Chain A
Amino acid sequence: MTYVALSAAFLGGALLVAAIAVVRVAVVAGAGALAAVARRWWLPALVAAAVVLLLTALFDNLMIAAGLMAYASKHLSGLHIARAPLEDFAYPVAALVLLPSLWSLFGALRLPAHTVSRLAAVSRPVSWINTAFPFAAAYYLSIREVDAVLVVGTVFFLVPYNLAMYGVNDVFDYESDLANPRKGGIEGAMLDRRLHRVTLVAAIAVCVPFVIALVLMGTPAAWAALAVSLFAVAAYSVPGLRFKERPFLDSATSSTHFVSPAVVGLALADAAWTPALVALLAAFFLWGVGSHAFGAVQDIVPDREGGIGSVATVMGARWTVRFAIAAWLAAGLLMLTTPWPGPLAGLLALPYIAIAMPYRSVGDERSASANRAWRRFIWLNYASGFLVTLILISYVIERPLS
């Protein structure tokens, strides 16, 4: 692709945003208001354009002369302003079109000052790492270099993915969250009804550019993995599907939220699907299933009062704790089948089993007491994440990419 085509594509994107901004003003405030905006801003925009293009002509030439960047001449149109390729001017032009349009769009949102921080809380910053790390580790271990896919994918699974997952969840969980005081703190954020619309819009808006980029950079296998991942994010809580209220499907879908980023990373890296890799992913999946089931135990009482189903409300506290222990044990045993240093990660199942064991016979009425173990579980995850990282590093050192 030539520099002209690339610039045209991005200029087109900027113009599209501008068109949306214009249509919004016309629809919301009327044609008269649009004319007033145009009357007020055409001259400042023209002056700004003249100045920024003049500055670009001057400084782009200076930067090229200083050797800050280099161009592959075969991709250039050949038109230059002194030494600066004409295509470079598309950057300031696009910025001039895009930024004031965004100002108009974002400004119209009239977000209360705290909305952004509320949205950040909704995305559960303490959990960001739980989805970004599986992706980044899987991708990096497969290709052993830092590239654009790694950066884009990691950022996507760090914030936008979590905003979508927890935002959609909180919007559609509103009623049951009201009955559950635990959701207001570290483990969740109860979402004001007025923020529901902006949460859904923000979740989609921040995800779409990343998904488009990952689709452009990936193969059909990666598209499939990404589709499964995004489906699991939505299906967990959207009305009609509500997988979180279907026993067993709830734990499986929750586990998919954390395993699928790794699968997307492996698919993007075109990794070889060895039996050891499948065993590792199966172990990760079982760990996620067990963890979700155990997490549901503490909510049995409020969930039943809210009329919400889960593996724990249907099967009872005692059964579910034992199921979680069995899933963690199976995950640990699966890791024993992987090549060294994989079996070391199998040992990490033991502390999980240890924190759940005291609750193996807990009655449904006392199930809320499992929250104590859940708090330990959250910290244990950080410790295990650290140890898993050390194991992965030793794997990288011991097995250079052939």
Chain B
Amino acid sequence: MSAIYLIVLLAALGCMVLLDHRFALVFWRRAGVATAVVVAGVVFLLAWDVFGIGLGIFARGENPYMTGILLAPQLPLEELFFLAFLCYLVMVLVTGADRVLEWLRGRS
């Protein structure tokens, strides 16, 4: 057991925060809306996980990289951070791509 995976996820989340802060993409665009969107997204994906676990489709793997802290049977603490990262990443990608495309159009 270790916190490696959790630290990697937190570092990735930190990178999203830096991008967001620098380019005002998600939380630095509209903090309240961003919070509601990410919370709703995480709840939605967590429900998906819970059903997948309950139906026996997937489970936590055997590995030395996780803390071993479980939110529910087979649902590790890390999954919460992974899903938050996925939601944040998607919003940063969509708003970030918009920003990049705008910049490219401005140059041409």
Contacts and interface: CB of A to CB of B under 8 A. Distances in A.
Interface of A: 1-3, 6-7, 10, 13-14, 40-41, 43-45, 47-48, 51-52, 55, 64, 66-72, 75-76, 91-92, 94-96, 98-100, 102-103, 106-107, 111, 113, 116, 145-148, 150-152, 209, 213
B41 A98 contact: yes
Contact of B57 (A40, A64, A72): A72
B51 interface: yes
Interface in B50-106: 50-63, 65-66, 71-73, 78, 86-87, 89-91, 93-98, 100-101
B32 A111 contact: yes
A66 B61 CA distance: 9
A209 B61 CA distance: 28
B33 interface: yes
Contacts of B5: 66, 68
A66 B65 contact: yes
A307 B101 CA distance: 62
Given A6-B48, A68-B66, A99-B87, 20 more contacts: A2-B57, A3-B58, A6-B51, A10-B51, A40-B98, A43-B97, A44-B94, A47-B97, A48-B93, A51-B93, A55-B89, A67-B61, A70-B61, A75-B55, A75-B56, A95-B45, A102-B41, A106-B36, A111-B32, A147-B72
Nearest to A10: B48
Contacts of B96: 48
B58 A116 contact: no
A213 B47 CA distance: 9
Interface residues of B, number: 49
Contacts of A106: 33, 36-37, 40
Binding site secondary structure of chain B? helix
Contacts of A48: 90, 93-94, 96-97
A3 B90 CA distance: 23
Contact of B43 (A7, A91, A209): A209
Given A91-B48, A146-B73, A45 B94 contact: yes
A396 to B, nearest CB: 19
Contact of A52 (B50, B51, B89, B101): B89
B57 A66 contact: no
B32 A103 contact: no
B93 A47 contact: yes
A145 B63 CA distance: 24
Nearest to B51: A6
B44 interface: yes
Which interface residue of B35, B78, B94 has the most chain A CB atoms within 10 A? B94
B14 to A, nearest CB: 17
A113 to B, nearest CB: 6
7 contacts: A3-B58, A70-B60, A70-B62, A71-B57, A75-B57, A99-B94, A148-B73
Which interface residue of A6, A7, A48, A98 has the most chain B CB atoms within 10 A? A48
Contact of A100 (B43, B71, B94): B94
Nearest to A56: B86
Contacts of A3: 52, 57-58
Contacts of A41: 94, 98
Contacts of A92: 86, 90
B22 interface: no
A99 B51 contact: no
B58 A148 contact: no
